[in-house]
Amino acid sequence: MSEEDAATGCAWTEETMTTVPGLYQLERDLTRDELIAELAATPDRVRELVSGCSAEAFQRHVDRDAWSALAVCRHIRDAMQVYGMRFKWMILQDDPFLPNYDEDGWVADSPDCPADLAAMIEEMAAYRAETIRLLRSLRPDGWQRSGRHEVLGSVVLAPYVRHQVAHEESHLAQLREALSFGQ
């Protein structure tokens, strides 16, 4: 637990915050600093997973309903941008409206191809850098700021950040599986 977390007595576990149905649930107890570190590491984790993979590997589907590795990368990038903006609105505005987006549509309509992966990862890193800077600047009570999600209803920043960590872990596992399929 960081000094700041210890001072407030908050370890940011499921027991200390409101959970919202429909959010990914992070099964580990992480401090605020650890959550931020997990988010900060995602672009490098994607970079490590895709390093040295062929264009063909990015196009394969584990099954007909699963996203290809390229589609997973598109989604991770899009989600970093969308969630980063939602977090920013929650930090800078009082109880803002958080619009939903058509994640499947964005993935399907993206013009990105395997040759664009390096640029996509740089976009991930840039989106994430701003999010990390904002989250690090928050005082402990700032983690209790809320927003009104178009589908989920009222969400609080702390569990919403935990959701994003779990969401990214899920898609990193999906990316790992997609890249290893057929090898």
Angle in degrees, CA 75, 30, 142, rounded to 5? 80
Task: Write the DSSP assignment of 66-85 as a string of letters.
Answer: SPPHHHHHHHHHHHHHHHHH
- Angle formed by the axes of helices 157-180 and 69-92, nearest 10°: 170
Which one has a higher pLDDT value, 8 or 87? 87
In a domain, 29, yes or no: no
In a domain, 13, yes or no: no
Res. 60: pLDDT tops 90: no
In a domain, 153, yes or no: yes
In a domain, 151, yes or no: yes
Domain containing residue 50: CATH number: 1.20.120.450
In a domain, 122, yes or no: yes
Res. 173: pLDDT tops 90: yes
pLDDT given at position 2:
45
pLDDT given at position 129:
97
Res. 33: pLDDT tops 70: yes
Find the farthest-apart pair of alpha carbons in the chain and give their distance in angstroms, rounded.
51
In a domain, 98, yes or no: yes
- The overall average pLDDT reported for the chain is 87
- pTM, two decimals, is 0.86
Using one digit for the tens of pLDDT, what is the confidence trace for 128-166? 999 999 999 999 999 999 999 999 899 999 999 999 999
Res. 39: pLDDT tops 60: yes
In a domain, 28, yes or no: no
Which domain range does residue 137 map to?
A: 40-180
In a domain, 18, yes or no: no
- Tally of domains in the chain: 1
